[in-house]
C-alpha cells in the first residue's frame, strides 16, 4: 500500500523533515534562465529590448551554461530581480560575494 505524503512526513523526525524541506526549496529555486524569464511573463524580445540587445543574444545567453556574472546580473535586473552570489565553505560558512568596484 502506498503512503500519502502527509503520512510519510508524520513519521519523520522534525530535524529530518526540516532538512528535506530545505532541500526541496533549494531544488525548486534552481531553475534555468529561460524558465525564470517565462515565470516572470517576459518574452525574449521584451527582455532583449530592456537590455538593448538583439533577441538572438537572449537566446544565446539562455542556451549557455557559462554566462558572465555581469551578463547574469543584467539579465536578472531586467526581470526586476537582483543577482546574489554566495560561496559556501566546508565549515558551513556562507559568504556573499560582492563584485562592486
Predicted pLDDT at 29: 58
pLDDT digits (tens, 9 = 90+) for 53-69: 999 999 999 988 788 89
Predicted pLDDT at 50: 96
The residue with cell 557559462 is: 66
Which fold is adopted by the domain 32-101? 434 Repressor (Amino-terminal Domain) (1.10.260)
pLDDT averaged over every residue in the chain: 86
Beta bridge partners of 88: 94
- What is the 3-state secondary structure of the chain? CCCCHHHHHHCCCHHHHHHHHHHHHHHHHCCCHHHHHHHCCCCHHHHHHHHCCCHHHHHHHHHCCCCCHHHHHHHHHHCCCCCCEEEECCCCCEEEECCCC
Handedness of CA 59, 65, 67, 73 (dihedral sign): positive
pLDDT digits (tens, 9 = 90+) for 2-27: 667 677 678 878 888 888 887 777 76
25/49: higher pLDDT: 49
pTM score = 0.64
Amino acid at each position: 500500500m502506498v503512503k500519502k505524503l502527509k503520512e510519510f512526513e508524520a513519521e519523520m523526525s522534525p530535524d529530518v523533515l526540516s532538512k528535506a524541506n530545505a532541500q526541496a526549496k533549494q531544488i525548486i529555486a534552481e531553475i534555468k534562465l529561460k524558465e525564470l524569464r517565462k515565470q516572470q511573463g517576459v518574452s525574449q524580445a521584451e527582455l532583449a529590448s530592456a537590455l538593448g540587445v538583439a533577441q538572438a543574444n537572449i537566446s544565446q545567453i539562455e542556451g549557455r551554461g557559462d554566462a558572465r556574472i555581469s551578463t547574469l546580473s543584467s539579465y536578472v535586473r531586467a526581470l526586476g530581480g537582483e543577482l546574489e552570489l554566495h560561496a559556501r565553505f566546508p565549515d558551513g560558512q556562507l559568504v556573499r560575494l560582492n563584485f562592486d568596484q
